[in-house]
Structure 1
Amino acid sequence: MTATLPTTSDARTPQQIWLRVRGVLLAVLVLVVAGVAFAAVHSGGQHGRLDPRSADPYGSRAVAELLKERGVSVDVVTTLDEAEGAIGPDTTLLVAGPNVLTAHQQRRLHTAAATAGRTVLIAPGGSSVTRLAPGVRQASHGPVTARPPRCELPAARTAGASHMGGIHYATDEPGATSCYQENGFAPAPLLVLPGRGAGDTVLLGSPDVLHNDRLDQQGNASLGLQLLGPHPHLLWYLPSLDDPSAAEGGTGTDNGSGGDEAGESGFIDLIPSGWLWGTLQLALAAVLAAVWRGRRLGPLVTERLPVAVRASESTEGRARLYRKAAARDRAASALRAATRTRISPLLGVAPRDADSPAVLLPAVASRLSTPGDDISTLLFGPTPADDAALVLLTDQLDALEREVRTS
């Protein structure tokens, strides 16, 4: 009969691994499903910021529905070709993301908008302002707060205080109207330029007055309806990153110095808010799971070695390492310390004083029949100069210990 030898392997079996990780995998699965569901609820069926079809807090479905109730048709376009084909004198053109457009698209849009009844630009910034509204410049940036109109624009005076802020614009164009300035001085977050063709141009420094979650606050609804509803047709242009016209005349947004660069809106601004929250929750859950499953430091546990190692083998192995490294200083220190530790109880010296020359040396001298002056050098001396001196030191320490034991 063949005896079964016990195994000493530390490797876990597949069943042990599964039992250990199944809780973590289940928790991760639940968190992933919850994150996807949360993102789907908050972004599914919605179309992002300033979209008249979106019921998201940052969408604009509420103002679009109010305009429809007042007889204004609202059409959404996502390409420049569609926008150019639908612009007319009885049309209000709203550009929801002018900074996403390339320099070539912005110049085309500026030319086409000359025939619109009104053009509303939402928060154009940087060099986009100079291309879409020549003569206007971005002057500063301020917080969005409820402000009084402080101007003679009928729409603003009727609406009263509204949530305005963001980008502030300044211009030297004659006939321009600035509203909702901070402290009553230009630049302003709402700027109306007189018509250069069929209608005027409105620059809004912030889209907040058109968001669903703020439309019922202050005079936001009144201001939004008056700015977007002077004509029977509202063309709501949502620039798209996959618009074929973006490949014409370069693929970037001109930075105003002749070169092309990426659009001025950050990539994060283009991601629906629900997905951002879902990703943040998943990252937090991963960190918590890592902390939960992290190794906890507990008390030391004594384990039996799989094999027995003789003390002489350990001593010889350490000696070979010392010799290979030429570490005579460490070898001599270890030999002297071991000798002092063994003879101190024989001399009545406390273990804590074994390394004190002032205590140990007098005790050693009192036990020797012929005490010499080299005891201090022997027990606390310098490093041996070579291997022969190290061997001699070993013999002398052995002789000293024998004499102490026999005295």
Structure 2
Amino acid sequence: MTTTPPHPTLVSTTPHQVWTRSRGILLVLGILALAGLVIALLQSNKQHGHLDPRSFDRNGSHAVAELLKDRGVSTRVVTTLAEATTATGPETTLLVASPNLLTPSQQRELHTATTSSGGRTVLVAPGPPSLHTLAPGVRPEPPNSPVAAREPGCALPAAATAGRADLGGLRYSTTASHDACYPADGRPSLLRLTTPSGGDTVLLGAANLLQNEHLTQQGNASLAVQLLGSRPQLVWYLPSLTDPSATEGTNSDGDTPDATSGFLSHIPPGWLWGTLQLALAAVLAAIWRARRLGPLVTERLPVAIRASETTEGRARLYLKSHARDRAAATLRAATRLRLSSLTGVPAVHSDSPDALLTALSARLPDTTRDLNALLFGPTPPQDAGLIRLADELDALEREVRAS
């Protein structure tokens, strides 16, 4: 015997309905994912090889490293603070490509090592996050100036020899002994500070003169070679977020750094604001689409089922579970309720033998039926007896109606 699989009812959800309801959300998620991918690609292309002496990219610094190599200066790239501090010395120039990426504890350790080394330290575009620790006494002067070809305006030999160079960006001011060069709006964008150990620290307001794209312009090549080639060894420090020292030590308040705040600090502010705006938009959309409380309205049912189908379905369930007692009780209860309305007995007394049987006896004084056994008797032991009970109940109801 083969069974036919059930057909979906009108209230079941079809794949087309699921797609119709969810395509808007999927479209928004797809647009967000695509936007994130595009932004990530743009950011990666923008920062690829940035100030890396091994990179031939326009933002890289391979050309500077080659010029220094021709003059006998060896360039060594390091990515950890331990390597950078170990390599410092009187015969070494340490270039820190992104000092603002260093944590406060890294900045303190680096400043201690460089001030006592007797060598030269070149900080590329140090800003407020690192300037206070790496160059005490120096203040940034807002706003930043555009990078352009500027005159030296100082007696520093390297600047005087190079002449005009592409500088600007961050500007600085200090009361310590210094060489202030390449002024922009009255404030220098190149600052050289001397250290007690005989070395010096050079602050560059912009990194353009070290990049491959701008090296051949103005006197950029000459200034870069003289600043980085004053010692026979050049250590090029590219700070990395994977450096173990970035998660060690304490923060600027002396407390142990929190992993959650450290993670959030690496997320661009635009992404945080964008996430907040999307969350607000989702809440507003939920309020817009939520059900409103109001008066009840009639709604047409999706399908109409005949009473005969319901009766037949329930009968089949009773038959399958051999529930003759439930079937007999249901038949008798329904018949008693209908007979009570025909004989004038209140519905609440339809299950009372005294009230219902008295009314039936008055209505059918000549009946030969055992009304008590028929309406309140035991359950038939066989299915045939259940069928016979149903027929007798129907006959009794017809007889009462006829009377």
Q: TM-score range by the shorter chain?
A: 0.5 to 0.7
Distance 1:69 1:246, change over 3 A: same
Alpha-carbon displacement from aligned partner over 1:175-202 (angstroms, at most 9, x marks no partner): x11011124x3x3111001232141110
Instruction: Verify the 8 A CA contact 1:189 1:204 in the aligned structure 2.
Output: yes
Q: Which runs of 5+ in 1 are unaligned?
A: 1-6, 270-275, 277-304, 308-407
Instruction: Verify the 8 A CA contact 1:8 1:306 in the aligned structure 2.
Output: no
Greater Cα radius of gyration, structure 1 or 2: 2
- The secondary structure found in structure 1 opposite 2:236 is strand
Instruction: Verify the 8 A CA contact 1:56 1:212 in the aligned structure 2.
Output: yes
| Corresponding position of 1:126 | 128
CA distance in 2, matches of 1:85, 1:196: 19
CA distance in 2, matches of 1:37, 1:142: 29
CA distance in 2, matches of 1:169, 1:232: 29
| Corresponding position of 1:161 | 164
| Corresponding position of 1:104 | 105
- Give, as a single letter, the amino acid of the residue that structure 1 aligns with 2:53: P
| Corresponding position of 1:337 | none
| Corresponding position of 2:54 | 53
CA distance in 2, matches of 1:247, 1:88: 26
Alpha-carbon displacement from aligned partner over 1:100-158 (angstroms, at most 9, x marks no partner): 11211111111111215210011222252121112222233322332111111111122
Distance 1:259 1:178, change over 3 A: farther
Q: Determine if the alignment matches structure 1 residue 200 to structure 2 residue 200.
A: yes
| Corresponding position of 1:93 | 94
Instruction: Verify the 8 A CA contact 1:42 1:56 in the aligned structure 2.
Output: no
Distance 1:39 1:246, change over 3 A: closer
- The secondary structure found in structure 1 opposite 2:75 is strand
- Give, as a single letter, the amino acid of the residue that structure 2 aligns with 1:64: A
How far residue 9 of structure 1 moved from its aligned partner, in angstroms, is: 6.8
CA distance in 1, matches of 2:215, 2:12: 64
| TM-score, L = length of structure 2 | 0.53
CA distance in 2, matches of 1:140, 1:42: 26
Instruction: Verify the 8 A CA contact 2:96 2:236 in the aligned structure 1.
Output: yes
Distance 1:215 1:130, change over 3 A: same
| Corresponding position of 2:216 | 216
CA distance in 1, matches of 2:86, 2:153: 37
Alpha-carbon displacement from aligned partner over 1:27-55 (angstroms, at most 9, x marks no partner): x99xx99x9899889958x8542221223
- The secondary structure found in structure 2 opposite 1:177 is strand
- Give, as a single letter, the amino acid of the residue that structure 1 aligns with 2:57: D
CA RMSD of superposed structures (Å): 4.6
- The secondary structure found in structure 1 opposite 2:72 is coil
How far residue 74 of structure 1 moved from its aligned partner, in angstroms, is: 0.9
| Corresponding position of 1:350 | none
Instruction: Verify the 8 A CA contact 1:151 1:179 in the aligned structure 2.
Output: yes
- Give, as a single letter, the amino acid of the residue that structure 1 aligns with 2:222: S
Q: Determine if the alignment matches structure 1 residue 239 to structure 2 residue 242.
A: no
How far residue 15 of structure 1 moved from its aligned partner, in angstroms, is: 9.6
CA distance in 2, matches of 1:171, 1:89: 25
| Corresponding position of 1:139 | 141
- Give, as a single letter, the amino acid of the residue that structure 2 aligns with 1:135: G
Greater shift, 48-57 or 156-165, is seen at 48-57
| Corresponding position of 1:170 | 173
- The secondary structure found in structure 1 opposite 2:145 is strand
Please give the residue correspondences for 1:65-80 in structure 2 after superposition, counting only pairs within 5 Å. 65-80=66-81
Please give the residue correspondences for 1:382-401 in structure 2 after superposition, counting only pairs within 5 Å. none
- The secondary structure found in structure 1 opposite 2:142 is strand
Question: Which 4+ stretches in 1 moved above 3 angstroms?
Answer: 7-18, 35-44, 258-263, 265-269
Identity of aligned residues (%): 53
Q: How many residues align?
A: 268
- Give, as a single letter, the amino acid of the residue that structure 2 aligns with 1:236: W
Instruction: Verify the 8 A CA contact 1:164 1:189 in the aligned structure 2.
Output: yes
Instruction: Verify the 8 A CA contact 2:92 2:233 in the aligned structure 1.
Output: yes
| Corresponding position of 2:388 | none
- Give, as a single letter, the amino acid of the residue that structure 1 aligns with 2:75: V
Structure number with the bigger relative contact order (C-alpha 8 A, sep ≥ 6) is 1
Distance 1:144 1:10, change over 3 A: farther
- Give, as a single letter, the amino acid of the residue that structure 1 aligns with 2:175: D
